[in-house]
């Protein structure tokens, strides 16, 4: 069966690779934005679903292709659910992953927080011109740990220990992370919905 192109509406190379891995068993070829016509993306807000849908819709509308996007974030109990949908911008512009991790740990320590529990949340959207969008949701509960541990993954993975594990997301083998992560759980639902549609 020919593999349909599916444009990943992200500039994050870590997400792109996870998209490809998580959808590898479907007749889809996940492609990056590189080399395609420039896409004008709307400014992101504070709602996962709206952000994910807007990004995928922008690609589908402007390039006329199937598109997939997600919006995900880390919600920390002691911070009232922050940084949440603002996770990629937490601490201000100019910070890289390590800088945002350091900012989060410093914020918790400065507040004297006792409860370092939290969860990763992911909402993914797949938009196909002329069809209703698919929207899925996934969560992974756990807690924040310090110091950062592990060299795999990206974002806050080195300081997040999933519930039931003694390793951070950045220490887990890729297959295990894909099985239990917020993005892995969301994309499992997306694969299920797509498999049903594509088999009809």
Residues in the chain: 200
Q: Do 124 and 139 touch, CB atoms closer than 8 A?
A: no
Of the candidates 61, 70, 71, 97, the residue annotated as catalytic is 71
What are the distances in angstroms from CA 46 to CA 50, 73, 192? 8, 10, 28
The DSSP secondary structure of 145-190, one letter per residue, reads -SS---SSS-TTGGGEEETT-SS-TTTS-HHHHHHHSHHHHHHHHH
Q: State yes or no: is 71 an active-site residue.
A: yes
Q: Which two tokens stand for residue 110?
A: 């400065």
The DSSP secondary structure of 77-109, one letter per residue, reads GGGTT-EETTGGGTT-TT--HHHHHHHHHHHHH
Q: Which two tokens stand for residue 27?
A: 């007749």
Whole-number Å distance between alpha carbons of 194 and 109: 44
Whole-number Å distance between alpha carbons of 71 and 141: 17
- Known catalytic residues? 71
């Amino acid at each position: 069966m020919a593999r349909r192109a599916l444009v990943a509406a992200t500039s994050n190379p870590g997400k792109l690779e996870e998209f490809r891995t998580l959808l590898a068993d479907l007749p889809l070829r996940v492609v990056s934005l590189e080399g395609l016509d420039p896409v004008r993306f709307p400014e992101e807000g504070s709602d996962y679903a709206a952000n994910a849908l807007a990004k995928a819709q922008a690609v589908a509308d402007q390039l006329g292709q199937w598109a997939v996007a997600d919006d995900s974030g880390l919600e920390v109990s002691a911070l009232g659910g922050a940084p949440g949908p603002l996770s990629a911008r937490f601490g201000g512009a100019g910070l890289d992953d390590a800088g945002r991790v350091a900012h989060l740990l410093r914020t918790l320590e400065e507040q004297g927080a006792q409860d370092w529990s939290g969860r990763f949340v992911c909402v993914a959207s797949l938009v196909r011109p002329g069809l209703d969008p698919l929207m899925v949701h996934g969560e992974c509960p756990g807690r924040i740990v310090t110091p950062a541990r592990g060299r795999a993954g990206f974002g806050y993975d080195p300081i997040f220990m999933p519930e039931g594990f003694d390793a951070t997301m950045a220490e887990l083998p890729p297959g295990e992370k894909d099985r239990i992560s917020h993005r892995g759980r969301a994309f499992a639902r997306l694969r299920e919905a797509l498999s049903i549609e594509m088999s009809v």
